[in-house]
């Protein structure tokens, strides 16, 4: 009997760990992080927007690089429509030196990021969202002053080649949100680089 209780407790603990993070419909966790320009950017700064495209991304991951231009274009296309991009780098610089704050500054300057590029120094933000890889997208919808998760997953279905995309998951989700509907699919999966946790 005792072992059954212990097993159940272990399973429950495993379940809680495995399912930490947010799903579509959940309230979006707030954040307040340092931007590459030295300022602090919070989710609450966006209260007048219709939503936010939160992108967990990083410098060296080939998938992040492959999507970099597409993320810039998304911001250029949707910021004026009320859905700006906020990029968050969740990688620990000790494990991944290329993701150090100075390297983030360099990259965002070189590539002219038109959006904030924030450092999740404590790594609490990516964990609160449940992000596991880069790039990992969370589309937030402003629901009467509360940001809620509308879509989680990939940008589209061809990381290697933007011209070979057949399904634009994120843009389809944005269209649904703008039309007042729920995105379908509300979640997608993609291959990506593991987020580098502090060791």
Partner 1 sequence: MFDRDLQLNKKRPGDVIIMMKYITVMAVLYLMLQVKPAESQEITRIDREGITMITSRTADTTYVVNFWATWCSPCVKEIGYFEDLHRETSSAPVRVYLVSLDFPNQVERRVIPFLKEKEITAPVFLVTDLQYNEWIDRVDPGWSGAIPATLIYNGEKRIFLEKEISREELFEKVNQIRN
The binding site for partner 1 (CB under 8 A) comprises 18, 61-62, 132-133, 153-154, 157-160, 164, 166-167, 169, 185, 188-195
Q: Return the number of the residue (50 or 70) whose C-beta is nearest partner 1.
A: 70
Residue with tokens 């150090």: 100
CB of 21 to partner 1, least distance (A): 10
CB of 182 to partner 1, least distance (A): 18
Neighbour-count burial of 108, counting CB atoms closer than 10 A to its CB (0-12 exposed, 13-18 middle, 19+ buried): buried
Q: Return the number of the residue (176 or 188) whose C-beta is nearest partner 1.
A: 188
Which are the contacts of 31, defined by CB distance < 8 A and separation ≥ 6? 42, 43, 88, 118, 120, 125, 128
Tell me if 91 sits within 8 A of 78, measured CB to CB: no
Q: Return the number of the residue (143 or 187) whose C-beta is nearest partner 1.
A: 187
Q: Return the ∠ at Cα 50 (arms to 56 and 162), rounded to 5°.
A: 45
CB of 89 to partner 1, least distance (A): 16
CB of 135 to partner 1, least distance (A): 11
Q: Return the number of the residue (41 or 155) whose C-beta is nearest partner 1.
A: 155
């Amino acid at each position: 009997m005792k072992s059954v209780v212990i097993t159940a407790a272990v399973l429950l603990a495993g379940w809680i760990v495995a399912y930490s993070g947010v799903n579509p419909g959940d309230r979006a966790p707030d954040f307040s992080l340092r931007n590459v320009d030295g300022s602090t950017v919070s989710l609450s700064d966006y209260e007048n927007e219709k939503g936010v495209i939160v992108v967990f991304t990083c410098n060296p991951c080939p998938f992040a690089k492959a999507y970099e231009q597409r993320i810039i274009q998304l911001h250029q296309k949707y910021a004026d429509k009320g859905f700006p991009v906020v990029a968050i780098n969740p990688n620990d610089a000790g494990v991944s030196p290329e993701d150090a704050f100075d390297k983030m500054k360099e990259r965002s300057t070189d590539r002219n990021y038109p959006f904030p590029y924030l450092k999740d120094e404590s790594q609490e933000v990516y964990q609160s969202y449940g992000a596991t890889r880069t790039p990992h997208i969370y589309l937030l919808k402003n629901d009467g002053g509360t940001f809620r998760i509308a879509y989680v997953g990939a940008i589209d279905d061809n990381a290697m080649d933007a011209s070979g995309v057949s399904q634009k998951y994120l843009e389809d989700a944005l269209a649904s949100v703008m039309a007042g509907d729920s995105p379908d699919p509300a979640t997608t999966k993609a291959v990506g680089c593991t987020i580098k946790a502090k060791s």
